[in-house]
Amino acid sequence: MNIDRRKLCKLGAVAGGTAVCSVATPVLARDEREPDPNWYGMLNDSTRCIGCKACQVACKAENKLPAEATLGDAKVFGTPIYDSPRELSESTYTLIKMHLDVESKETTFVKQQCMHCVDPACQSACIVGALKKQSNGAVEYDADLCMGCRYCMVACPFSVPQFEWHKAIPSIKKCTLCSESRLKKGEPTACATACPAGAITFGKREALLKVARKRIEDNPEIYLNHIYGEKEVGGTNVLYLTKPKVQFAGLGLPDVKFKAVSGLTESIQHRIFQYFIPPIAVYSLLGGIMSYNQRRKKNAGQTGGDDEY
Ligand code: SF4
Ligand code: SF4
Ligand code: SF4
């Protein structure tokens, strides 16, 4: 039988729908988690970032990650051409992107990375507990527990977790908040330490929120009156500030709901085990969430009116 991708997706949707409909009682989301004031995080201030990418380089060095040859097989005098990748990858845990305001020609740089969410959707989607929020605030990954299902990739509202597709035994890769290598020794993150412009402030979440509020209060002409991550998806440990004219959606930070989706994802996972719903149904459900998030991101970008690089 010849089944193309479209038919397979339809089959998946039907299987997902059937599986969900067969569950007699509705799936209710559990209560949201509250942030711990002692959790560590970072304040990424895009009004200060000069786009030097020192943070990107420091992250590569800290995590012993290789450079990426972005032009495929292209070579100059036999040597591959290396460049900054366009997206996060299994070898790039953080990335600086540039936003250009078409009218004023003003540029703004933004740092992409794992948000170390207060109530992480990746953790709640992982049925074997390979992703876990630590007492220091970092969301850590345990490769020994991971079974490679990639539910975490589908569940993350920020499209952060990356998969080592080319490896025989692949792992999920993402920013670690330098938890093992630095936080546990009482040291700040490598990227925050490397930033020459003071654009990355490392500290406890509560203190970072105070710093962010003070910056907005002292310089309302420089800052948009909004701290991204204070409430988004139930709160994140990595927070963002931007310029008044530059909306977060234009910087690639999606206009997500203030409520965490994790409670719902977790309840769905528990119900899956209760009723033995097959994996294709889970992919259909989580795929629906991902496609909804992607559509929101795209729409936000279209209505923002600014170009994103
Ligand atoms: S940003 Fe994504 S990968 Fe990082 S903690 Fe949140 S849900 Fe997990
Ligand atoms: S916190 Fe550590 S792992 Fe995360 S982006 Fe910064 S240097 Fe990389
Ligand atoms: S090191 Fe600081 S100024 Fe340079 S790109 Fe990173 S955040 Fe921006």
Domain boundaries defined on the chain: 33-64+84-308
Distance 189 CA to ligand 2 centre (A): 6
Ligand found nearest the CA of 137: 1
Q: How far is CA 211 from CA 157, 236, 242, in A?
A: 26, 16, 14
Burial of 141 (0-12, 13-18, 19+ CB in 10 A): buried
Rounded Cα distance, 68 and 266, in Å:
35
Q: In testing the pocket of ligand 2, which one of 88, 97, 176 has its CB within 8 Å of the most ligand atoms?
A: 176
Q: Answer with the residue of higher pLDDT: 27 or 94.
A: 94
Q: What is the mean pLDDT of residues 123-127?
A: 96
Average pLDDT, the chain: 82
Query: Is 33-64+84-308 CATH 3.30.70.20?
Result: yes
Distance 240 CA to ligand 3 centre (A): 13
3 state DSSP class of 97:
strand
Minimum CA distance residue for ligand 1 atom 2: 156
Q: How far is CA 170 from CA 31, 116, 146, 182, 290, in A?
A: 33, 22, 9, 25, 22
Q: Please give the pLDDT value at position 233.
A: 95
**Quick one: tokens of 302?**
């279209």
Rounded Cα distance, 152 and 140, in Å:
12
Q: Which atom of ligand 1 is nearest to the CA of 121?
A: 7
Task: Of 71-85, 145-159, 258-272, give the lowest mean pLDDT range.
Answer: 258-272
Q: What is the mean pLDDT of residues 229-244?
A: 97
Minimum CA distance residue for ligand 2 atom 3: 175
Q: Which atom of ligand 2 is nearest to the CA of 94?
A: 5
Q: Vertex 295, ends 112 and 48: CA angle to 5°?
A: 25
Q: Please give the pLDDT value at position 163.
A: 97
User: How would residue 286 be classed by pLDDT, with cut points 50, 70 and 90?
Assistant: low
Rounded Cα distance, 170 and 184, in Å:
26
Q: Please give the pLDDT value at position 29.
A: 61
Distance 137 CA to ligand 2 centre (A): 13
Q: Please give the pLDDT value at position 271.
A: 52
| Ligand 1 residue neighbourhood (C-beta within 6 Å) | 114-117, 120-122, 139, 156, 158, 160-161, 174
3 state DSSP class of 1:
coil
Q: What is the mean pLDDT of residues 202-219?
A: 98
Distance 81 CA to ligand 1 centre (A): 31
User: How would residue 4 be classed by pLDDT, with cut points 50, 70 and 90?
Assistant: very low
Q: Please give the pLDDT value at position 220.
A: 97
- Strand locations in the chain (E): 40-45, 75-76, 79-80, 95-100, 107-112, 131-133, 139-141, 162-163, 172-173, 200-204, 238-241, 307-308
Ligand found nearest the CA of 97: 3
Distance 153 CA to ligand 1 centre (A): 9
Q: What is the mean pLDDT of residues 183-209?
A: 98
Rounded Cα distance, 266 and 31, in Å:
11
Length of the chain as a residue count: 309
Q: Please give the pLDDT value at position 102.
A: 85
Q: Please give the pLDDT value at position 305.
A: 30
Q: What is the mean pLDDT of residues 218-232?
A: 97
Distance 50 CA to ligand 3 centre (A): 6
User: How would residue 267 be classed by pLDDT, with cut points 50, 70 and 90?
Assistant: low
pLDDT at residue 285 tops 90: no
User: How would residue 86 be classed by pLDDT, with cut points 50, 70 and 90?
Assistant: confident
User: How would residue 205 be classed by pLDDT, with cut points 50, 70 and 90?
Assistant: very high
Task: Of 68-72, 113-117, 134-138, give the lowest mean pLDDT range.
Answer: 68-72
Amino acid occupying residue 150:
R
Q: Answer with the residue of higher pLDDT: 16 or 43.
A: 43
Neighbouring residues of 60: CB distance < 8 A, sequence distance ≥ 6: 66, 67, 91, 92
Neighbouring residues of 168: CB distance < 8 A, sequence distance ≥ 6: none
Query: Is the Cβ atom of 183 under 6 angstroms away from ligand 3?
Result: no
pLDDT at residue 231 tops 50: yes
